[in-house]
Structure 1
Amino acid sequence: MRWGLRPRGPGTAALAAAGSLWGPPRFPCRLEWRGTTTRLLVRSVTGAGTELPNPNSGKYRDTVLLPQTSFPMKLLGRQQPDAELEIQQKCGFSELYSWQRERKVKTEFCLHDGPPYANGDPHIGHALNKILKDIANRYHMMRGSKIHFVPGWDCHGLPIEIKVLSELGGKAQNLSTMEIREKARSFAKAAIEKQKSAFIRWGIMADWNNCYYTFDGKYEAKQLRVFYQMYEKGLVYRSYKPVFWSPSSRTALAEAELEYNPEHVSRSVYVKFPLLKPSPKLASLVDGSSPVSVLVWTTQPWTIPANQAICYMPDSKYAVVKCSTSGDLYILAADKVASVASALDTMFEVISTFSGGDLVHGTCSHPLIPDKVSPLLPANHVTMAKGTGLVHTAPAHGMEDYSVASEHNLPMDCLVDEGGIFTEDAGPELQKKAVLGEGTDVVIKMLQTSKNLVKEEKMIHSYPYDWRTKKPVVIRASKQWFINITEVKTTAKELLKTVKFIPGAALNAMVDMIDRRPYWCISRQRVWGVPIPVFHHKTKDEYLINSQTIEHIAKLVEQHGSDIWWTLPPEQLLPKDVLSQVGGPGALEYVPGQDILDIWFDSGTSWSCVLPGTGQMADLYLEGKDQLGGWFQSSLLTSVAVRKKAPFKTVVVHGFTLGEKGEKMSKSLGNVINPDIVISGGQDQTKEPPYGADVLRWWVAESNVFTEVTVGPSALSAARDDIGKLRNTLRFLLGNVAGFNPETDSIPVNNMYVIDQYMLHLLQDLATKITDSYKQYDFGKVVRLLKAFYTRELSNFYFSIIKDRLYCESENDPKRRSCQTALAEILDVLVRSFAPILPHLAEEVFQHIPYIKEPKSVFRTGWISTSSIWKKPGLEEAVESACAMRDSFLGSIPGKNAAEYEVVIVIEPGLLFEIIEMLQAEETSSTSQLNELMMASQSTLLAQDPRERTADGIELKGTFLINLEGGDIREESSYKVIVVPTTKEKCPRCWKYTAESSDTLCPRCAEVVGGK
């Protein structure tokens, strides 16, 4: 075909002749539009008023092929949740997990479920987490993988024990260990049942009869074996160390069990430690006749009775200063002179300065205990951020203090008991007083009496609280079991580099948390948990644990559960061989230890109990960001310690759920969203309507889950509206494939209408992007792609164009079948695209597809299937260039019916003319593909201006810049769009203005009706 010459003949022949233009282009081709008219969005229908035949009027109503489907446009009120329950039954939701496990497939996808805590009702955070996991699982299952997903529950621990005891009130004092354990187990079981039924209602795919529970005997036995493997490697040890201690729970806590209260008020004090013996260098700087004191600051005055030293930074500068108010001489860091003087409302005169190293071998008097000496010691943990640059050191009450004491062999006596009360060793004035209450008062009064208190002030700062009781903790030395994670950390951080983190920043956050963790205290002084399987000697500081004792206990636990530690006599807890060596049944020298394992150790060993195969590695862990310091970390550390590998390949981290304005959810604010009320509605259903589970799932998928996730009435209402629009789109698709059988009625792609081919081209691009977004666990992008496609490409564009062809052509006309072929493919891709997110809707649609005689579950029929022959980049350029002209036309008749106008398109000879000519081979047509796209009464395509002009025509001009071969050839083509009111009458059947008179059919309709 030569440039600008006009072939004659049917449009399809011309299209076939130029078939190569619609396949992959022979050269890189980019068409750009430069219009002189106002640019509207490509593929918009702004300004087009379209009239469609009314099925209830006129004698031709029975000849119009209107959509037919029983798929409801809306499910009102209770219809939505009721329909979902019916679909779950009808479509075998409960059997789906077992069905897919039995398939003969090559790949397995393992998502290891982090166990939710078994102590409360299901909440919106559960919904966010479980639905995200389910979307991932359903996607991978549809892609052809066998899914390994075993839901689990974390069943032990302090929160459950505290709830049980608080419910019993005063009676709790008299309960035995076994009574507490039995009540705690019952409580956990009840919570599990509530949560499980909610997860099932949300459509979560799993075998709900085979879950894992941390209180199950088999689970506990494996956990004990992991504990011993770590003990055998020298990673578990018992030591007297300072740990976070909760007086309100009377147990040690790990870092992950703390929450920081930014509004905590402490009574901070500046205290004098009189210099007893200056170092030689210091002696030369101070006049021996005037007493000098070292000045320290602390927010924990109650720790001063336990002081054993004062630490300084050897490389920093220090100063001797004179206080203008009192005349006292103080030693403090040179950098802190101004700020401390300001805090004390005084002025300091610097007498001399010296290096921190010059304090070596100096000593001070204890401010409360006259005969006690506090040495001055160098330490790298001293900072100049706060205080005086000299740090009060109480080894029993600080992690860094403990390190200094270990290095210098200082005493580490703890003067505080398990309830946070001063012991007898603290002296008669302090004994039996709570350190965080009256004890602090008394210490401050004692400092005043000894004239060593310089100033007291209230300080608001961030302070650790027990996350269960919401009360402050203290740091207190006690004998505990620890995991030495120093050597494990190095390997763990190296292995993390091979793990994919989504979002990527979560990796650094986790590495930082591991770096900051000095050791892991794994013992707890409670009863609801798995016992630490050691026996303590009755009189000596010795304990008994070896491979024989562990295997014996693990077997008993496997059969009977961990209750045996408290119910069996100690003699039966030891194997006979060991028993005979330690005093025999009658004179046993050892008693079972009373500590239980930290629940982070409980859940952190789940990889050994739940993950499949010998490799025991999950493809995916997916939890909230708090688990970077919790379950992700305890899983990693135990796995690396035992077998030097990570338990996960990919870690996806989501944010927390917040109220609509980004505020925390709380009952007092009234912004708590209950998933059950979201699904089934509240008491007042005008305020809290029943949305069903799919709305909840759409909200989860749509949210940017990698940050904080907001939820409230407007978010849920918007999700319902989105699904409503999607339903309408699906209803149109279902209604218009009625009477169509893809096996016999489909049109080969290359014979289809250009606009239909174009939709398949867009569909393939959509499928690729959606698949990629699921792969990246970016479900928000899946939703955005779907919404853009079904609102813009389908509802606003394609559907508005094709209605005439669908409704008014004869049933078997290839033009109509071409459209139905595209619609059937669109329906299939669309349903599979949202199925992992909206399983109830996807199954409902599948039940209404007219050509599926016995509908299987959509989840049993695989993932999106597209064809490479759909991909036609040249086609995209061609249709969008025609759309530019269409936009010019529609933009010139805002609010009018496009069918009341004729369009004349004038394009100078060249490639652009040939492109548009593909859509209309004849000069003037009311049935061509170009005219369908324009939605006009008729379209005329000319290579030069028409000879005659009408006075009432609108003329619009524009140009296209055509880029060929990556810009080597550039050709700019001009076009004109001339819009004139039609002279034809409205056809009584199709309502297009294509008839000779108002009571006669247009030629197309006459042919169709005549054919019938």
Structure 2
Amino acid sequence: MRWGLSPRGPGPAALAAARSLWGLPCFPCCPRWRGTARRLLVRSVTGASNELQSSSNGRYRETVLLPQTSFPMKLLGRQQPDLELEIQQKCGFSELYSWQRERKVKTEFCLHDGPPYANGDPHVGHALNKILKDIANRYHMMRGSKVHFVPGWDCHGLPIEVKVLSELGGKAQNLSAVEIREKARSFARAAIEKQRSAFIRWGVMADWDNCYYTFDGKYEAKQLRIFYQMYEKGLIYRSYKPVFWSPSSRTALAEAELEYNPEHVSRSVYVKFPLLKPAPKLASLIDGSAPASCLVWTTQPWTIPANQAVCYMPDAKYAIVKCSTSGELYVLAADKVTPVASALKTTFEVISTCSGADLENGTCTHPLIPDKVSPLLPANHVTMAKGTGLVHTAPAHGMEDYSVASQHDLSMDCVVDEDGVFTDAAGPELRRKAVLEEGTDAVIKMLQASKNLLKEETLVHSYPYDWRTKKPVVIRASKQWFVDITDLKTTAKELLKKVKFIPASALNAMVDTMDRRPYWCISRQRAWGVPIPVFHHKTKDEFLINSQTVEHVAQLVEQHGSDVWWTLPPEQLLPAEVLAQAGGADALEFAPGRDILDIWFDSGTSWSCVLPGTDQTADLYLEGKDQLGGWFQSSLLTSVAVRKKAPFKTVVVHGFTLGEKGEKMSKSLGNVVDPDVVVNGGQDQSKEPPYGADVLRWWVAESNVFTEVTISPSVLSAARDDISKLRNTLRFLLGNVAGFNPETDSIPVDKMYVIDQYMLHLLQDLAGKVTDSYKQYDFGKVIRLLQAFYTRELSNFYFSIIKDRLYCESAGDPKRRSCQTALAEILDVMVRAFAPILPHLAEEVFQHIPYAKEPRSVFRTGWINTSSLWKKPGLEEAVESACAMRDKFLGSIPGRNAAEYDVTVVIEPGLLFEIMEMLQAEETSSTSQLSELMMASRTTLLSQEPQVTPGDATEHTGTFLINLEGGDIREESSYKVIVTPTTKEKCPRCWKYTATSSDTLCPRCAEVVGGT
């Protein structure tokens, strides 16, 4: 059906179709109004309904139904944190987890808690992580799922051990492994209690009575069994390989235990490797009249004594150049001739060029050991990014170097010990010198003495440091235990394609970190951890491990904890049958090894101990982005190794917490934000006020957690202000549903006032968007949706319109009940929408709902519940017209009281007039729905121009195109808005200009007062 623009407008059938489409009678406000015009309303409308609340005297004050609630507008000083503690107690926060676990529901939601490290006080990073998890859990619980969330702690490892030893100072040197373990355990337990108390105070719902700890005997035993499962499959092996080594901690480190210092200063050198036997093609290019050398550059001169080869890029082009300063010939990459000559402050004359393949089978003389040969070898890791295109290769001190050594059977001897000091095997000039300090200086002097040093310069660059001691590490070869991750990575990457990552970019980041990992070193040379269950031969390079030995040790550990590895004699650590095979206790030639497992292996096996059921797969892992190379990865690799499946379905990755200007937090900068001070206030509470936990939670939810998250006093103050605005909205809602009983007083949707129906229409849209945002773990969007709704739709718009109806109609009038019906629904949806984020505020509101028979916990009553009847297809398009007219009126009286005017709306006959007629059946009214929306004292609706227009009237014209169903319902109408100052007096009760005299009630108020 298509309508033309005839004066008669659409026929009855068309109007009926339109009404059905809009769900009329309905009259919402248009989207256009929400912008400029609505802001006009806020500053221009100061009518009676707004003044009523502030009126403190007057004979009719007692007849006005002002809001009634004990819900406070503000909580000052200690009131907020004190009330939160009271609510936690009164509303059963501590019992909520067990209550929801006992429900008979079909769905289960499992969020596996990545263990925080038990080595210090709770900090804002903890708050960010735990609160994000709690918001997710509370949402899923309210949606009807049984939540599985067992909090845990990572209790072993170097950081805790280092802290304990540093506190003991010199006394630490005399401690046995058992004493160190005892003190580390006590330290971890104390940290756990501090952190647990903080997490509970922040309102985190969890199984606090049944947490998991990596130092628990049962956990350790399970870990040992997984270790053996991987060993039995050939995935764990012992080998002599270069690893990151921390001299300051005297242990191997994994990549995830490093941090890179961009300000590290190295002494880089250009070194000659004299050609001993050039390859035939290269020999033909060198005339023999001058000495020739391969030119290399390194930032680690201390590794040159361990040199075994010089590597080149087979496909690259190399040049033979003559140095203008020395007259010597050098071989280097053709692309590096100019930059290297510049660095050496000389010029190079290119004598000839050749391919990398032409260097094959050539040899050089070692620059420090004249009788040692360094062969020229091809290698894929050589690049032209820096240096000379020829790479000094020391297999004991580089992962790529090790690969070359494996292919060409080079020596991998290491002459650097656990303290980062040259051993006696390094020779008298180097022995007992620290390689990164005086050892480097000694090597450079030796190069000078051998006349093979061309230049030394300092280089500021990024260099790996021990994440706890903050001191540089070295790469050195040692006997360690490794996980062979070559095949595991291939399977893991395939499985990750089925895992949902939020944000999606985190998937590539995780794959990249795995690809960069050549192997996983899982042994550590410390005391505080789970022992690698292997017995080493006392005199031979042999070890003993099998299913019997590991199961026997696992059972002992399960019963008594892993201390048994250090406290029991070796013969008790071995099962009787194995001991007999080994010759009995007297002849036992095996001793328990002293390596412990990497803490990433510790925590990475948590899925096997914590996740429920036989499936043992979590719906969600949620941690910081550092875990892409840490816990996410170790969990994935161990799970893939043992059972060829990922331990998670969804991975959410958040950023780090930073200061206000995006800087890292540090005590020296004075920008550390203590979450306890946020909640309870600092010593000077005028500068550090007590905000309570909900402000902390709002900050977490509001932040864009998928990037870095800033926190500062100004950010927290803004969060408090935002919650205060929300409280004001909630107070208005609570106050105006006083005396209302939804069971008996609610008005059916189709009989509600148009604007009330429209608010339910918007409310259903809000509920859907909020729910979708929670599903995507986008809690910041939840807050933005709520803020837009309660600021724009409610406070600035709806509340301004309805105050007259709420305050001045009789208590049981259907018009007022219609409004209260909408307010009750709005209150319920809003509270449930923010409850996962602000649980304390949500429970506080539920304590003040006047029609609740007895206060109930919002979390025990389910998620948002809306009705399909609220949705009115086509509604917003249909009513833009009315808002356009309202815009004309309000725009003509900026800064003035709308109630001081009468408005006449003239519309040509047709669909637009029919819509307006449904809002105002009579020609002139001061109580119609159209009048309420306009907020004028009186509204007149005409289909033709009035015969007489007052001289002080202003006229505003416009047209409006109704276009629905893709053009099937289409009509453009003209309208005119005539604004006239009212001739009536202000009613002493409602303050609208509808009375015959200032001492007389308007007809509406007279009827209400007379009927009471």
- TM range, normalised to the smaller chain? over 0.9
Structure 1 residue 479 and structure 2 residue 482: aligned?
Answer: no
Report if aligned partners of 1:488, 1:641 keep a CA contact under 8 Å in 2. Answer: yes
Which amino acid is the alignment partner of residue 628 of structure 2?
L
Distance 1:420 1:760 in 2: 71
Aligned counterpart, 1:833: 833
Distance 1:841 1:44 in 2: 30
For 1:8-23, list aligned pairs within 5 A. Answer: 21=19
User: Secondary structure in 2 aligned to 1:993?
Assistant: coil
User: Secondary structure in 1 aligned to 2:463?
Assistant: strand
Can you list the C-alpha shifts for 1:328-369, whole angstroms capped at 9, x where unaligned?
111111111111001100000011111111111111111111
Report if aligned partners of 1:22, 1:874 keep a CA contact under 8 Å in 2. Answer: no
Distance 1:887 1:304 in 2: 81
How many angstroms does 1:63 deviate by?
Answer: 1.0
How many angstroms does 1:682 deviate by?
Answer: 0.8
Aligned counterpart, 1:375: 375
For 1:513-532, list aligned pairs within 5 A. Answer: 513-532=513-532
How many angstroms does 1:25 deviate by?
Answer: 6.2
Aligned counterpart, 1:447: 447
Aligned counterpart, 1:862: 862
Can you list the C-alpha shifts for 1:931-990, whole angstroms capped at 9, x where unaligned?
000110100011111111111112112211111330255422111111110000011111
Which amino acid is the alignment partner of residue 753 of structure 1?
Y
Aligned counterpart, 2:87: 87
Can you list the C-alpha shifts for 1:240-266, whole angstroms capped at 9, x where unaligned?
000000001000000111111111110
Aligned counterpart, 1:210: 210
Report if aligned partners of 2:109, 2:146 keep a CA contact under 8 Å in 1. Answer: yes
Aligned counterpart, 2:881: 881
CA distance change for structure 1 residues 41 and 811 in 2, over 3 Å: closer, same or farther?
A: closer
User: Secondary structure in 2 aligned to 1:585?
Assistant: helix
Distance 1:721 1:930 in 2: 35
Deviates more, 1:714-723 or 1:497-506: 714-723
Aligned counterpart, 1:852: 852
Distance 1:964 1:132 in 2: 43
Report if aligned partners of 1:267, 1:301 keep a CA contact under 8 Å in 2. Answer: yes
Which amino acid is the alignment partner of residue 112 of structure 1?
H
Distance 2:890 2:94 in 1: 52
Gaps of 5+ in 2: none
Distance 2:456 2:830 in 1: 69
Distance 2:651 2:880 in 1: 41
Deviates more, 1:574-583 or 1:276-285: 276-285
Can you list the C-alpha shifts for 1:773-797, whole angstroms capped at 9, x where unaligned?
0000000000000000001000010
Aligned counterpart, 2:493: 493
User: Secondary structure in 2 aligned to 1:896?
Assistant: coil
Distance 2:22 2:481 in 1: 68
Aligned counterpart, 2:935: 935
Aligned counterpart, 1:760: 760
Report if aligned partners of 1:617, 1:649 keep a CA contact under 8 Å in 2. Answer: yes
Report if aligned partners of 1:364, 1:375 keep a CA contact under 8 Å in 2. Answer: yes
Aligned counterpart, 1:102: 102
Distance 2:68 2:619 in 1: 45
Aligned counterpart, 1:724: 724
Which amino acid is the alignment partner of residue 986 of structure 1?
K
Aligned counterpart, 1:751: 751
Can you list the C-alpha shifts for 1:271-323, whole angstroms capped at 9, x where unaligned?
00111111111111112232111110000000000001101111111111100
How many angstroms does 1:877 deviate by?
Answer: 3.0
Which amino acid is the alignment partner of residue 787 of structure 1?
Q
Report if aligned partners of 2:38, 2:796 keep a CA contact under 8 Å in 1. Answer: no
CA distance change for structure 1 residues 43 and 792 in 2, over 3 Å: closer, same or farther?
A: farther
Aligned counterpart, 2:45: 48
Q: How many residues align?
A: 999
For 1:572-651, list aligned pairs within 5 A. Answer: 572-651=572-651
User: Secondary structure in 1 aligned to 2:585?
Assistant: coil
Distance 1:320 1:209 in 2: 73
Aligned counterpart, 1:11: none
Give the TM-score, by structure 1 length: 0.97
Give the TM-score, by structure 2 length: 0.97
Aligned counterpart, 2:540: 540
Aligned counterpart, 1:299: 299
CA distance change for structure 1 residues 517 and 739 in 2, over 3 Å: closer, same or farther?
A: same
Which amino acid is the alignment partner of residue 21 of structure 1?
R
Can you list the C-alpha shifts for 1:403-451, whole angstroms capped at 9, x where unaligned?
1111111111101000000000000000000000000000000000000
Can you list the C-alpha shifts for 1:898-941, whole angstroms capped at 9, x where unaligned?
11100011111111111111111111000000000011010001
Aligned counterpart, 2:805: 805
For 1:941-956, list aligned pairs within 5 A. Answer: 941-956=941-956
Report if aligned partners of 2:29, 2:758 keep a CA contact under 8 Å in 1. Answer: no
CA distance change for structure 1 residues 250 and 930 in 2, over 3 Å: closer, same or farther?
A: same
Aligned counterpart, 1:394: 394
Distance 1:34 1:761 in 2: 17
CA distance change for structure 1 residues 999 and 25 in 2, over 3 Å: closer, same or farther?
A: closer
Can you list the C-alpha shifts for 1:706-726, whole angstroms capped at 9, x where unaligned?
011111111111111111011
Report if aligned partners of 1:31, 1:962 keep a CA contact under 8 Å in 2. Answer: no
Aligned counterpart, 1:974: 974
Distance 1:139 1:167 in 2: 43
For 1:304-323, list aligned pairs within 5 A. Answer: 304-323=304-323
Structure 1 residue 958 and structure 2 residue 961: aligned?
Answer: no
Distance 2:472 2:374 in 1: 28
Can you list the C-alpha shifts for 1:477-518, whole angstroms capped at 9, x where unaligned?
000000000000000000000000000000000011111110
For 1:199-238, list aligned pairs within 5 A. Answer: 199-238=199-238
User: Secondary structure in 1 aligned to 2:919?
Assistant: coil
Which amino acid is the alignment partner of residue 184 of structure 1?
A
How many angstroms does 1:880 deviate by?
Answer: 3.5
User: Secondary structure in 1 aligned to 2:400?
Assistant: helix
Report if aligned partners of 1:986, 1:993 keep a CA contact under 8 Å in 2. Answer: yes
Aligned counterpart, 2:264: 264
Report if aligned partners of 1:310, 1:392 keep a CA contact under 8 Å in 2. Answer: yes
Can you list the C-alpha shifts for 1:92-112, whole angstroms capped at 9, x where unaligned?
000000000000000000000
Report if aligned partners of 2:29, 2:755 keep a CA contact under 8 Å in 1. Answer: no
Distance 2:814 2:30 in 1: 32
Distance 1:954 1:837 in 2: 50
Distance 1:520 1:124 in 2: 31
How many angstroms does 1:33 deviate by?
Answer: 10
How many angstroms does 1:662 deviate by?
Answer: 1.0
CA distance change for structure 1 residues 1000 and 249 in 2, over 3 Å: closer, same or farther?
A: same
Report if aligned partners of 1:32, 1:962 keep a CA contact under 8 Å in 2. Answer: no
User: Secondary structure in 1 aligned to 2:454?
Assistant: strand
Report if aligned partners of 1:34, 1:959 keep a CA contact under 8 Å in 2. Answer: no
Aligned counterpart, 2:505: 505
CA distance change for structure 1 residues 191 and 39 in 2, over 3 Å: closer, same or farther?
A: closer
User: Secondary structure in 2 aligned to 1:636?
Assistant: helix
User: Secondary structure in 2 aligned to 1:480?
Assistant: strand
Aligned counterpart, 1:904: 904
Can you list the C-alpha shifts for 1:750-784, whole angstroms capped at 9, x where unaligned?
00000000000000000000000000000000000
For 1:652-671, list aligned pairs within 5 A. Answer: 652-671=652-671
How many angstroms does 1:43 deviate by?
Answer: 9.0
Distance 1:769 1:880 in 2: 22
Distance 2:58 2:225 in 1: 83
Which amino acid is the alignment partner of residue 925 of structure 1?
S
Distance 2:802 2:862 in 1: 29
Report if aligned partners of 1:33, 1:881 keep a CA contact under 8 Å in 2. Answer: no
Distance 1:446 1:585 in 2: 53
User: Secondary structure in 1 aligned to 2:587?
Assistant: coil
User: Secondary structure in 2 aligned to 1:49?
Assistant: coil
User: Secondary structure in 1 aligned to 2:663?
Assistant: coil
Which amino acid is the alignment partner of residue 962 of structure 2?
I
Distance 1:454 1:288 in 2: 21
How many angstroms does 1:816 deviate by?
Answer: 0.5
User: Secondary structure in 1 aligned to 2:469?
Assistant: coil
Can you list the C-alpha shifts for 1:688-736, whole angstroms capped at 9, x where unaligned?
1111000010110000000111111111111111110110111111111
Percent identical across equivalent pairs?
A: 84
Report if aligned partners of 1:48, 1:896 keep a CA contact under 8 Å in 2. Answer: yes
Aligned counterpart, 2:68: 68
Which amino acid is the alignment partner of residue 457 of structure 1?
E
How many angstroms does 1:34 deviate by?
Answer: 10
Report if aligned partners of 1:33, 1:960 keep a CA contact under 8 Å in 2. Answer: no
